[in-house]
């Protein structure tokens, strides 16, 4: 850390902002959160212990160099967490309970990830780390509860300690870091219309005891828990005392190819339980690869009313998003001429296809939480020109199937994509008792049940569940229920894909010809003519 930055951190309690992450790194962290990154260990700030990716960021030389300039040669990482603030969300003025008034012994590094600006980042009180008293205790003495504290209150209290104190709203952007003394008074109010996300890394000298706060008791007097002690990692030097629970750093993930996906049913029950605090929760379903796709992931998410999981973002994968319950508005700012400033309503049974690097997000507009399913994939380069964005309806009117056939399919779209020779989609209706015999496709198939029940792979499959059949795997289907089954099918055709069915074994095709009744009917007629 430059001498002037260190001097500012020591004197005023904060320094920066300093750029520590590029745009791609910020996007990758946000995507990990969307994909259901590993849960933190023991408490909400334990991400560095559970995730190699978070730990790698926390040990960056650009960060550790600045932190150790204040803490010395022994540096302990005790907290790593993601701070998500929805529009107009307030995090009341406070002092970190874990640190209390121990100024000069801890450094917090607050890194903007998404929608970071002066009106969404941190607010702080300069010089407050030296006051020797927390915001919570000061407010209690003044008869204020934590959510009643305003800027004018903290400024009045602060200037009684140091007339130089000011309320500072930090002007910073995504990828920039703010370095704070752990005892500094701070809070936040997201005045923007977007959900702001930030990564909070917290370091301390290893002789400073760190304990988990009782989060059910945030008013003064606050309380900390003696057990469990939070897991801490030494990122520089050694711990010379037993004041904290020092654990090993997470291991780097083994470099190995993605797991091959198999013939399988993935049950999914709606409604999904939402996260009422964050407004969004992801439920991973599967992740792996096939002969056609080097990476395919599927997860379901639930989003409460008015919430948006992230700002419009871009990624390299293709994506399909299907609404299962509730209603959402998808936001597609790249689509010129789209109605309502790029917003489109999507209801159950409707879905969208996003090509790679196409900006998108969504927001729940129904009072009930919206549940939706996402398929994301990458493969070899397609032949082009690729499909563009599309919004489709699996419940679009279609002539009902006849009792004789028991089945009807309605094509919704098909064409080459960035990584497929062809992506085909159709919606199907299957009458009770109808079905088709086991067969093999030369392409991968994903099926989402919308209504009724199906039976395949020896399992009875209920609505909202997902069925996946890799190319070359035998599968059949029937409707075992008493009402029509409706489902949507996605076919992923690769370079070696043939659009027709292939037999289960090389012998099956000849066997089918041998038992074809039309062939035998003709042969019997010839025999009868000869015998006459």
- Please give the CATH topology (third level) of the domain spanning 3-246: Jelly Rolls (2.60.120)
**For residue range 472-488, what is the model confidence (pLDDT) as tens digits?**
999 999 999 999 999 99
CA 399 from centroid of its chain's CA atoms: 38
d(C-alpha 424, C-alpha 461), whole Å: 23
Closest CA to 448 of 463, 433, 435, 438: 463
Domain ranges of the chain: 3-246, 264-499, 507-532
> Reduced to 3 states, what is the DSSP secondary structure of residue 153?
helix
Residue 513 pLDDT exceeds 90: no
Closest CA to 93 of 15, 162, 44, 148: 148
Quote the Cα angle for 20-22-23, to 5°: 140
In our burial notation (b when 16+ CB lie closer than 10 A, e otherwise), range 417-427 reads: bbbbbbbbbbb
pLDDT of residue 532: 36
Other beta carbons within 10 angstroms of residue 146's beta carbon come to: 18
pLDDT of residue 504: 38
Residue 73 pLDDT exceeds 70: yes
Quote the Cα angle for 397-266-281, to 5°: 90
Task: Check for a shared fold between 3-246 and 264-499.
Answer: yes
d(C-alpha 223, C-alpha 263), whole Å: 52
Q: Among 67-71, 159-163, 339-343, 515-519, which is the least confidently predicted range? A: 515-519
The residue-averaged pLDDT of 407-436 equals 93
- For helices 3-12 and 61-71, give the axis angle rounded to 10 degrees: 50
- With beta carbons less than 8 A apart as the criterion, state whether 60 and 232 touch: no
- Please give the CATH topology (third level) of the domain spanning 264-499: Jelly Rolls (2.60.120)
**For residue range 354-372, what is the model confidence (pLDDT) as tens digits?**
999 899 999 999 999 999 9
C-alpha distances out from residue 245 to 61, 234, 397, Å: 24, 10, 62
């Amino acid at each position: 850390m430059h001498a002037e930055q260190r001097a500012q951190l020591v004197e005023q309690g904060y320094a920066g902002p300093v750029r520590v992450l590029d745009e791609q790194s910020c996007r990758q962290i946000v995507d990990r959160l969307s994909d259901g990154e590993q849960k933190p260990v023991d408490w909400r700030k334990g991400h560095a212990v559970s995730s190699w990716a978070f730990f790698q960021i926390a040990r960056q030389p650009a960060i550790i160099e600045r932190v150790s300039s204040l803490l010395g040669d022994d540096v302990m990482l005790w907290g790593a967490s993601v701070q998500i603030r929805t529009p107009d969300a307030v995090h009341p003025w406070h002092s970190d309970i874990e640190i209390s008034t121990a100024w000069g012994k801890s450094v917090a590094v607050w890194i903007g990830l998404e929608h970071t600006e002066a009106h969404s980042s941190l607010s702080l009180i300069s010089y407050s780390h030296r006051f020797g008293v927390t915001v919570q205790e000061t407010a209690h003495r003044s008869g204020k509860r934590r959510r009643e504290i305003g800027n004018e209150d903290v400024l009045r209290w602060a200037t009684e300690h140091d007339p130089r104190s000011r309320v500072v709203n930090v002007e910073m952007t995504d990828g920039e870091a703010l370095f704070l003394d752990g005892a500094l008074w701070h809070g936040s109010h997201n005045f923007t219309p977007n959900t702001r996300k930030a990564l909070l890394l917290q370091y301390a000298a290893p002789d400073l005891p760190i304990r988990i706060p009782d989060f059910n008791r945030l008013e003064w007097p606050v309380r900390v828990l003696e057990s469990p002690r939070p897991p801490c990692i030494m990122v520089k030097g050694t711990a010379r005392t037993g004041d904290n629970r020092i654990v090993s750093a997470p291991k780097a993930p083994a470099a190995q190819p993605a797991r091959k996906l198999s013939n399988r049913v993935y049950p999914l029950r709606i409604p999904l339980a939402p996260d009422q605090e964050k407004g969004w929760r992801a439920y991973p379903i599967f992740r792996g690869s096939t002969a056609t796709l080097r990476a395919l992931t599927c997860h379901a998410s639930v989003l409460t009313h008015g919430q948006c999981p992230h700002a419009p973002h871009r990624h390299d994968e293709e994506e399909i998003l299907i609404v299962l319950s509730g209603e959402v508005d998808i936001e597609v700012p790249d689509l010129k001429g789209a109605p309502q400033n790029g917003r489109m309503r999507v209801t159950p049974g409707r879905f969208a296809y996003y090509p790679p690097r196409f900006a998108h997000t969504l927001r729940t507009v129904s009072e009930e939480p919206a549940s939706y399913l996402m398929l994301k994939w990458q493969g070899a380069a397609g032949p082009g020109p690729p499909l563009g964005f599309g919004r489709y309806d699996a419940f679009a009117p279609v002539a009902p199937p006849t009792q004789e056939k028991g089945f009807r399919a309605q094509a919704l779209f098909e064409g080459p994509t960035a990584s497929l020779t062809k992506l085909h989609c159709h919606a199907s209706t299957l009458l009770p008792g109808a079905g088709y015999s086991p067969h093999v496709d030369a392409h991968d198939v994903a099926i989402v049940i919308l209504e009724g029940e199906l039976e395949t792979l020896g399992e009875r499959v209920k609505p909202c569940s997902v069925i996946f059949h890799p190319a070359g795997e035998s599968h059949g289907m029937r409707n075992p229920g008493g009402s029509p089954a409706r489902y949507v099918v996605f076919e992923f055709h690769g370079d070696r894909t043939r659009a027709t069915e292939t037999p289960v074994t090389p012998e099956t095709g000849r066997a089918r010809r041998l038992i074809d009744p039309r062939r035998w009917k003709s042969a019997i007629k010839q025999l009868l003519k000869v015998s006459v």
